[in-house]
Amino acid sequence: MMDAGKTKIKICGLRSGDDIAIVNETLPDYAGFVVDFPKSFRSNTPEQVERLVSGLDARILPVGVFVDEDEETVVSLLRDGVIAMAQLHGSEDDAYVRRIREKTGKPVIKAWIISSPEDLVQACASSADYVLLDAGKGEGKAFDWSYLENGLERPFFLAGGLTPESIAEAVRRCRPFAVDISSGVETARKKDAQKVRQAVMAARRV
């Protein structure tokens, strides 16, 4: 994995043994697994996530991605060590975030849809360990990065519309703790090994 001072990278939306092989080769810092969200073609059951994570290189932290999931499902996966972090993409409030952390002692990422500078103010106030800034919920679109030109008061994951070609600019302009990429490293709805390699290399070169 990268040095602590460098921007980290998360490859999200893993759902097959081939995906696991790709990230085990490229060693991003985080691997994301969508859990119980049928609207996404990347969704996995908790049992599928457990099987996939069992083959994951120990140097990569597995992250469960949830949308208004029952708390006990999230807590169970964290307590059992299936995932190391929970990433919340629904209407979960600060009380939900605190309960997850109090029950497990594990870090929580809360996703925020950014459509104006005011949205960043709300994101900064979140009680989560990290916030993830996105333009939507996995649509692969970027928000206006100029909102971040003055920096952000807390560590954040930058998502939305990232590609191997745009990661370097994103890191320079936005200075995120981590970049989060999913559709940008896919071809025909499958993770593309070459694109993942390019994305990881791009993040590490900056």
**Catalytic pick among 19, 36, 134, 180:** 134
Q: Hey, is 140 helix, strand or coil? A: coil
Q: Hey, is 158 helix, strand or coil? A: strand
Tell me whether residue 80 is one of the annotated catalytic residues: no
Q: From the CB of residue 102, how many other CB atoms can be counted at a distance below 10 Å?
A: 9
**Catalytic pick among 12, 29, 36, 174:** 12
- What does the block give as tokens for 123? 């994101």
Determine how β-strand 190-191 pairs with β-strand 186-187.
Answer: antiparallel
Tell me whether residue 134 is one of the annotated catalytic residues: yes
d(CA 87, CA 109): 4
| C-beta contacts of 166-170 below 8 A and 24+ residues apart | 166/142, 167/9, 167/199, 167/202, 167/203, 167/206, 168/202, 168/203, 168/205, 168/206, 170/145
Residue numbers annotated as active site: 12, 134
